[in-house]
Amino acid sequence: RTVLRELTELQIKNPDISPLESLTDTDPNVFLKRYLKKIRDLGEGNFGKVILYVYDPANDGTGERVAVKSLKHEGCGHLHNGWMKEIDILRSLYHCNIVKYKGCCSELGGQVVQLIMEYLPLGSLRDYLPKHRLGVAHSLLFAQQICQGMEYLHSKRYIHRDLAARNVLVENKCLVKIGDFGLTKHIPEGDVYYRVREDGDSPVYWYAIECLKESKFSFSSDIWSFGVTLYEILTQCDHRQSPPAKFIQMMGNVRGQMTVMVLIKLLEKHNRLPCPRDCPPEVHLLMQQCWDFDPARRPSFTSLFESFEAIRK
Ligand code: ADP
Ligand code: MG
């Protein structure tokens, strides 16, 4: 009954916030703030902060561990709408290689909403890989799982726009899932790309050339970012070989506004990330295909999956 009362209050206070309305109307998975007990911080990116909690309504220590994501800068109106979209998108996805949505928790009549998702105990690939040396076959298994999650995302006509090792989570040594749908956009049927309007602190070293030049994001620009993610996996996310470290090395000492311009020049001259040490040439070839100047010539996630399958055998 309290849940129902809180929901009703929420809707009365916010008669015109439709994403939230749709969220609470149909969502049985409402978590109550008072039963969430904080364990520790899990990580943060540009916009979000993720914390590990135990949700224990029985208050007897039988609760489950959940990862709770909230906006870092609560109260910014334009961010709030994007945030509601991120929640809605994750809620609509169901795949074994995509982090599972569990529910929401809202405070202050819906002005603050937190996203509750399953907790992946091994953290992101960036936390995991430097501590666990994977052989090539194992690396390619992870790569294939990312392809499968992305193939599903594309089949739902979403582009991710922020595919990177920091946004891939590790469930156990045989299973990874894509997390962080903060920059995901829906592409209407028929359209092939999306142009960014908002400015912001973007992960430029993972971006395809056309994203840097014209803010043109597409299914093929996700493939480019996958190539960079594959590079990260094969370098075990060693920070000395990270994409920013390598590109900054190639670019020399440029800063601020100039960075993107110099990066574009570099990519136009066909400079790319190097072949990671111990990376088989056929895997390096796939990376290079992902980084083709022409988006139409890049492989699809389906064909990448098959290529990995053939190499693993
Ligand atoms: P942002 O949108 O701010 O980049 P992310 O969703 O990428 O936020 O989360 C930031 C970090 O928190 C991740 O890189 C990862 O280390 C950690 N994290 C996120 N979600 C989970 C989860 N479900 N389980 C465990 N760790 C997580
Ligand atoms: Mg992130």
Q: What is the pTM of this model?
A: 0.87
- Pocket flag, ligand 1, residue 82 (CB < 6 Å): no
Which atom from ligand 1 is nearest to the alpha carbon of 122? 25
Cα-trace Rg, the chain = 20
Mutate which of 47, 180, 225, 229 for ligand 1? The one with the most ligand atoms within 8 Å of its CB, which is 180
Distance 180 CA to ligand 1 centre (A): 6
**Does ligand 1 lie within 6 Å of residue 179's CB atom?**
yes
Give the list of residues 6+ apart from residue 165 with CB closer than 8 angstroms, or none.
124, 125, 126, 129, 229, 232, 233, 237
- The protein residue with its alpha carbon nearest to ligand 1, atom 14, reads 166
Residues 56 and 63: their CA atoms lie apart, in Å, by: 4
User: Given the CA of residue 99, which atom of ligand 1 is nearest to it?
Assistant: 23
Q: Write the DSSP symbol of residue 34.
A: G
The pLDDT, as a whole number, for residue 190 is 64
Buried b (16+ CB within 10 A) or exposed e, 101-121: bbbbbbeeebebbbbbbbbbe
Tell me the mean pLDDT in the region 4-31.
53
pLDDT at 185 over 90: no
Pairwise CA distance, residues 204 & 148, whole Å: 24
**What confidence tier does 17 reach under pLDDT thresholds 50, 70, 90?**
very low
Confidence (pLDDT) at 28? 64
ipTM, interface predicted TM-score of the complex: 0.96
Active site residues: 162
pLDDT higher for 3 or 169?
Answer: 169
> How close is the Cα of 303 to the center of ligand 1, in Å?
28
pLDDT greater than 50 at residue 32 = yes
Give 62-111 pLDDT, tens digit per residue.
899 999 998 877 666 667 777 888 888 899 999 999 999 999 988 766 66
- Mean pLDDT of the residues in the chain: 85
99 lines ligand 1 (CB under 6 A): yes
Which atom from ligand 1 is nearest to the alpha carbon of 46?
Answer: 3
pLDDT(189) > 70: no
Q: Measured between alpha carbons, how far apart are the two ends of the chain, in Å?
A: 57
Interval 24-45 mean pLDDT: 81
CA distance 184 to 158: 7
Question: 121-158, pLDDT tens digit by residue?
Answer: 999 999 999 999 899 999 999 999 999 999 999 999 99
Contact 89, 184 (CB under 8 A): yes
> How long is the chain?
313
Q: Look at 34 and 296; give whichever has higher pLDDT.
A: 296
Query: What value, to the nearest 5°, has the Cα angle with vertex 298 and ends 293 and 299?
Result: 165
**Residue 162 beta carbon below 6 angstroms from any ligand 1 atom:** no
